[in-house]
């Protein structure tokens, strides 16, 4: 267990959120023991039968707040995704995108990619999560498995710097091509530019006062 201060645990960033004095404990959730409950056990059993390398591919299984998350090794992500999509008893036909997360204090696993999956056939939901170091932020693209991930992977690359190997056109989608850095990382400088609005000027976030 570690302790974080400020809204995101970042120091010297010009915190304008009002949460500069926030102190909270950061807890790492370990693997959940069986039985998971509900249909989660069925999903784990069916995936293990369909994919004999299950124990080598899945780092941990976490059931928290009524949600099942499979933490997958990045080199096994594509194979696991294919099994989840194509196995008759699983049929996760829809991936709702990919979300980036940045944990600067999680040494060697700073960048996470989270994939919410939906089985329309069986009316079930789970999540996949992959963790990579920020010095080697490569994850296999899943566009070939779920074509709708195309723009989502581009956005996650743009905002977090995660590189999706095999993506058909991995370019920025929100920021200009020459933009420095990745704005949704927690160590990204607040910065900004002043904005004129109806004759008044709103200062850039980095020029506003901090809350102590």
pLDDT score, position 26? 58
For residues 66 and 22, is the Cβ–Cβ distance under 8 A?
no
In this prediction, the residues of the chain whose per-residue pLDDT falls under 70 are 1-29, 190-197, 205-212
What are the backbone dihedrals phi and psi of residue 118, each rounded to the nearest 5 degrees, phi first? -130, 130
- Give ∠ CA 20-24-30 in degrees, rounded to 5: 140
pLDDT tens sequence across 162-206:
999 999 999 999 998 988 889 899 888 766 666 666 777 777 766
Q: What DSSP state is assigned to residue 49?
A: H
Nearest to 202 by CA among 212, 192, 188: 192
**b/e for 115-132, b at 16 or more Cβ within 10 A?**
bbbbbeebebbbbbbbbb
At 211 the pLDDT is: 45
Domain limits of the chain?
Answer: 31-181
Q: Model confidence over 27-38: pLDDT tens digits? A: 666 899 999 999
Q: What per-residue confidence (pLDDT) applies to 12?
A: 57
Q: Which CATH architecture fits 31-181?
A: 2-Layer Sandwich (3.30)
């Amino acid at each position: 267990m570690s302790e974080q201060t400020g809204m995101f645990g970042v120091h010297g960033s010009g915190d304008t959120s009002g949460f500069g004095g926030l102190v909270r404990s950061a807890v790492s959730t370990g693997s959940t023991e069986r039985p998971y409950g509900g249909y989660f056990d069925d999903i784990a059993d069916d995936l293990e039968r369909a994919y004999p390398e299950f124990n080598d591919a899945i780092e941990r299984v976490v059931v928290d707040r009524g949600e099942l998350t499979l933490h997958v090794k990045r080199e096994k992500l594509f194979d696991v995704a294919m099994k989840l999509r194509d196995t008759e008893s699983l049929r996760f036909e829809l991936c709702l995108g990919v979300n980036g997360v940045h944990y600067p204090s999680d040494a060697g696993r700073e960048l996470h990619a989270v994939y919410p999956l939906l089985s329309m056939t069986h009316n079930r939901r789970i999540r996949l999560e992959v963790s990579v170091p920020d010095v080697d932020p490569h994850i296999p693209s899943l566009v070939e498995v779920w074509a709708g991930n195309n723009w989502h992977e581009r956005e996650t690359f743009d905002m977090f710097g995660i590189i999706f190997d095999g993506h058909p056109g991995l370019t920025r989608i929100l920021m200009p091509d020459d933009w420095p850095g990745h704005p949704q990382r927690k160590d990204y400088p607040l910065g900004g530019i002043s904005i004129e609005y109806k004759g008044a000027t709103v200062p850039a976030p980095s020029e506003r006062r901090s809350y102590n």
